[in-house]
Structures are given as structure tokens and as C-alpha cells.
Structure 1
């Protein structure tokens, strides 16, 4: 199957074209916190409306419906709707739509409404009878599915997929299975922003995952944890026969998608399981390790997590005689948590189409046995096969294998 359309809103861009330009330039959206506290890579509160208004020139696109539906919601919902409409437009689904019940929808994310719940709890602690009734919907992650399906008229299968920081990749795995099985001709996979409450943010600090102050980039020897980023992204997965019938140029083929657990409930990464996820995606695609051009790493900036991923990549690629390139998109966007896998799949797709690999700020690791990291400048590259990794607390390990399309299909 192919990725036939993409959309993204993040700290460095309001759409996919701007995202590609920001990646090529190595533009970083991370802003250090006040008084030396944790940094953030946040979304501009007005970005969703800017993105939707920019789509007004596309005939038949339900921009007004999107503004009405998302206008009643917070930033996370508005951003997810905007990214989904961008991808819908990019895939030309308004011009040549499949039947509504042949389009599926998978939203990546769990615990997406932490801040909203905390604010409502404080506001209505002494007057619970006045809690807005619609909160019964808004506080559930599935509200994303409901609103998106309403805006776009999607009537096929729909669900949310939660797998901590691997949620985006696991949503892509689910989407590929829906299309490959014939349950849908196309599937929108949406990475929705996680809106952390202050308690959740402090918990990440206390467990040692989030950088407590100014943060070095992922894999830099001075790394101390991740910087939280907020972003929304969408990838349209479509069967090759459907994309050909609609004459839609694609970004890449999705040839492999593999996920596995590490039989743990802890936050500790497992290099063995991470290597198995990459190997599984390669096996699914029929691609050898020495054929891989590029690895988009999970690369959060956590010392333990980065070390485990380096060991896993060394196991997969260290004996091939050819070191694929690697970079860390989170060095530019921050760690977009449950949306990260979709954001990074879009990053791989636009790099494949653009023929480049984005920079990774900071100093490259000394123990990168299996891969070669980009440094402070973009690298021209004809990417034939790329892996995009996603790992999460609780033993979630996943990898997606994307392959270049023939030039006639791009």
C-alpha cells in the first residue's frame, strides 16, 4: 500500500510543505523553559485555524464544517482536524472520493485530555452539577474519532490505538492491516496531540524521562531526557489499486510494519525487543538490512533510551558492512508523545519525496556502531528503504518500513 496524502502541524510548520522546508533547514522548534526549567516545542494556538483557512481554495473540502466542529474543542482537537483535512486534500479524496464505508479512521493516542480533565476538576470541584454534559464525550480519546468522522463523512471502521510513545506507529500498524485485509480502500491514521496536565508533566520529570532543564539533542553525549512537543499529523494509507485508479501520486510504499511487546510493565527500554521490531519490519517487507538507506530513530534524548536504541541498531546493522544514515526528528519537533510515530512517518515521507535527510543538531554519539548520524546540515539522499522506529513505556516496540515509489508514481 502507499501513503497517498499527509498533513502536519507542529512547532516548526503549519503544513507538510513547510514541514519539509523546516526539516531540510534543520529548524528547531524547541524553546527553553523560563528560569532554566523544562523546555517545550509547542503548537501556536492559532495554527489550526490558519491551516484550515489555507485550505479554502480546495473545492469541496469541508472547511466550514471543520471550523464549526473543532471550534467547540481545545487545541488538540482543532489541530487533529486541521492535519486530517490537509491529508484528505493532499490525497485528493474530495476530488475522487471512495465510498464512505470504504474509508477507515485510526487515531493514535491515549490519555489525550489530561490537562482538560485537571482543569475541569479544579473548576467544578465545589459545583459538580454544573460540569458541561458534553464533557462526557470530550474527555474520552474516542471523541477524536467521532469528530473527525463527522467532519469528513467517514463511515468505515474506526478506533483509537494507545501504546504510550509507540501509539503513532501502532496506529499505522493497525491502518496497514485494515487496508491489506480489504476492510478499507483507504485509512486515515491521525496522530492527535497529547495535552499533558501539570501532574503528568511532573511525573515524567520524576521518573527521569523528561529533561529537567536546558536539553541536549537526542544521542548527544550530554542528553538528559526528552523535551515535550505538541503536534498533530495524518497519513492516508491507501491500497495501490485504489491510488492507481484515482491517479494519485504517492509519497512512499508501506512495505513492512511490525510490533511486539517486551513482557514488562516498566519504563525500561529493551534493546533485544527493539531489534526484533526492526528485524520483523524488514522481514515483512522482504528487505535485507544492507538495503536500508535510512533509519528515523525513536531518539527521545533519554540517556537509557538512546543507549538501548543504539545497541539495537548495532545488532541489526552492525554486521552488514553498510551503515544506513540515521537522524532524530525529535531534535527539531520535541517528543510529540503519542503522536510521534505519525509525525515521524510524515517526516520520512517528505524526506523520501524531497531526496534529503534532515540534520540532527548536537554531537553525534561515539557508540553508533550500526548507523551514520546526520550532523548540522541536510544530506542529499536517494532513499530506497527507510525504517521509522517507535518505542513506548510498558514494553511497546515497533518499526515501520517505507520504500520509495517508482518515479512515475511520485
Structure 2
């Protein structure tokens, strides 16, 4: 018999806050985490803004020497995992069998900052000066590896790299690992740190990012006629998932139950989304959950604030939900957090858990003039109190990678 899987711990590291209460309060206030980039010279860049984390001290979460051997994305992942485990009140060595605790934390790009720094050393000082930690700091699986080493989790350990769908794939795959009985607990989500000279240059070259540099807090505006691209964010979102039996045995607090997971491929284009692929992904998740379209109350949209992407997702929701699409609440919290790429799905799953807990739907801010082609209820500008029972989170990545998870209020 398939195990039921519940969410017992949440941890975030974002430009809107490092603790759940601050993070949630800022979401409910409609606060933007976007500002001018200060970490390097952006004077020649078309985009000079991002949702940067400016007050992060890795030593607050890990040994200083160990932190120096981690890329910034790994530091974020370790920190958010520590926070999620604390929120779950779970001590792996005390409360469970470490061999039944797994880690599945992905990154869309991995250690870009480390790569950038070490490449500069190579060019300026030669190959003998490149750090022996260069490769293990850079590779995308090292977030999962370091979390395992620092927590003692000895169970299934893996990493997804599916661009902006990474975090949601990581959570969905973890859900399936517990459901089939291969672990009792999974630490899962995503982490990303690409606000660097190379990262920004690459996305600027794609012409994918907003250039509203004079109004950073208004730059991310999903579904609005004035949107001109996404705003890059950084950070991590981590969930602690447990089998219901394991959670109840130790008296854990439960945020919600994961009931469905869908994934699909567009087989269409490298960067332009295909609404059919996203619609199939949502439909597969609902089928996996054993629910009807009418059962879903809220969608945390991928909603990146790109001209093409927002229309494509709106079309996909209408394909998947039919007339119920117009009764759903849909919002894009990227309007506040920026787009955390591989970490986006992790952060947005945390938001879904908090939405179920508090009965409040976060808004899509900066939605002043709604695009007529984006004609759904996007919860504009102010949060909404609602009796939310079933929530969906969407993530769609370059390469046509799509992932959807469904979470519901926990009932015995």
C-alpha cells in the first residue's frame, strides 16, 4: 500500500526573509525583494536589478571553515535545510533511522560563482593556482551531498537539474520515494545563486530579464501589460517530507499532505514554452492525486513576468481546468521574490504550505493593468483570505521541462 506523505518542516532563504514569519509577513504586505545589484559593477548591463540576499552570514548556520568550501548556492541550501529541520523539530540521530532519511535538493545551474572566480584565477595566475575545491564546490549535486554530511542523512540522495522546474521535480521525486516506501523522511527542494557577472550577462544576452532599472520594486509584474521580463532572485526553499505514519509516531506538526505529482516534456523549443506541455503536466498531477479540476482552489503559478511565458501558462491553465480556470485563484509570488530559477519550486512549495496553514492567498503585486490575454483571477496586489483546501504549484523550465505538485489540507 502506498504511503501517505505529509509536509512537516519548511525553511527559506530569500530576499524577503530568512525565517518563515518574516517571509510570510512580507508576502502578505506585498513587499518586493528586488533592488539594485551591489555585489559587482553592473553599469554596462542592460539589467541592473535582482532579488539579492544582502544580509546572509553562512557562519550562522555552519562552521566557517566548511562554509569557505561551499559555493553560495550550497550555503543557501544548507542554511534552509537547517531551518526546515528545526521547524519540523526533527533530530535525525535522535528521532529516526538515518538510513531512512534522504536528501533531494537540486539546482538549475549550480556553482556559477565558484566557476567564475576560479576561471579568473586560471587566466590571471595559471592552472596551479586553481583551488582543489573548485570541482566539488561547483557541481550541482553538492547541495544534497553537504546537507547529507551535515545532518547525517544516509538514505536516498540525489539531485535534479531541470532548469526552473528543478525545485518542484525534487519535491515530487521525494514524494514518490516516500510513497513507495524507500524512505521515511526526505529533505528536499532547490537552491540557486546566479546573481553574478556571468549569470547576469548570460540572461541579458537572452533578453529575458526586465530592464526597469529605475523602479526595481515594480520590475517583476506577471500578467501585467507592462511586463518586460523576469527579475533574477537567489536563495533556497526546503521542505521536510515524512510518511504520515512516521510523522504521527513522533507527534509532528503537519502543514499539509502532498497528493499529486505530474511531469511532462514540451518537445517543442529550447526557451519558448508550449501550453500543451504545461497543461498535460497539470492534468497528470490531478490524475495522480485522484482529484477533479474542480477540487483545486489555488495555483501558485510559474508566472515569471515574461511576455510569452505568462500568456502560455494562462492558456495551459484553461486547457487543463476548462471553465473552472475562471473560478480558481492564481497568483505569482515571483512578483515579490524574483525568479529563483532552480530554487523557485522549493520556495513556492513553502508558500503553498503556509497558504494552507494560514488560509490566506499571497497576491501578484504590480498587477496594475492586466493583460487581456491573461484573463484569470490573479489575486492582484493584495492578499486574500480564503478557505483553501487544495493547492497546486507549477514550475516550467528551459528545454520544455514541466513539473507540478498538488498539496492539500491534512485530514485524518
Normalising by the residue count of structure 1, what TM-score does the alignment of the two structures yield? 0.91
Which range moves more in the overlay, 127-136 or 164-173? 127-136
1:37 corresponds in structure 2 to 47
Residues 215-263 of structure 1 show CA distances to partners (whole Å, capped at 9, x for unaligned) of 2411111111100000111101111111111110111110001101111
Q: Which residue of 2 aligns with 1:61?
A: none
1:55 is matched with none
In 2 relative to 1, CA 393–261 (structure 1 residues): closer, same or farther, beyond 3 Å? same
Give the whole-Å Cα distance in 2 for the aligned partners of 1:383 and 1:48: 36
Q: Which runs of 5+ in 2 are unaligned?
A: 214-218
Match of 1:365 in 2: 371
Q: Report what 1:60 is aligned to.
A: none
Name which of structure 1's ranges 72-81 and 264-273 shifts more when overlaid on structure 2: 72-81
> Once superposed, what is the RMSD of the aligned Cα atoms?
1.9
Residue of structure 1 equivalent to 2:73: 76
Distance 1:375 1:117, change over 3 A: same
Name the counterpart of 1:277: 281
CA contact (8 A) 1:38 1:211 kept: no
What secondary structure is seen at the aligned counterpart in 2 of 1:236?
strand
Matched, 1:92 2:84: no
* Alpha-carbon distance between aligned partners in 1 of 2:269 and 2:325, rounded to the nearest angstrom: 36
Mapping 1:281-360, distance limit 5 Å: 281-320=285-324, 323-360=327-364
Q: Indicate the larger mover: 213-222 or 288-297.
A: 213-222
SS at structure 2 position matched to 1:11 = coil
Runs of 5+ consecutive residues of structure 1 not aligned to the other structure: 53-64
On the 8 A contact 1:331/1:361 being kept in 2, the answer is: yes
CA contact (8 A) 2:269 2:400 kept: yes
2:236 & 2:304 partners in 1: Cα distance?
A: 18
Q: State whether residues 9 and 47 of structure 1, in contact with CA within 8 Å, keep that contact through their aligned partners in structure 2.
A: no
Runs of 4+ aligned residues of structure 1 deviating over 3 Å after TM superposition are 32-38, 47-50, 65-68
Aligned residue in 2 for 1:113: 111
Matches within 5 A, 1:1-400: 1-32=5-36, 37-50=47-60, 52=61, 66=63, 68-94=65-91, 97-125=95-123, 126-214=125-213, 215-320=219-324, 323-362=327-366, 363=368, 364-369=370-375, 371-400=376-405
Out of 375, 379, 404, which is 2:409 matched to? Answer: 404
Q: Count residues in correspondence.
A: 393
- 1:293-318 superposed Cα distances (whole Å, 9 cap, x missing partner): 10100000111000100111122234
Q: Alpha carbons of 1:67 and 1:257: their partners in 2 closer, same or farther (altered >3 Å)?
A: farther
SS in 2 for 1:192: strand
Are the counterparts in 1 of residues 118 and 131 from structure 2 also a CA contact under 8 Å?
A: no
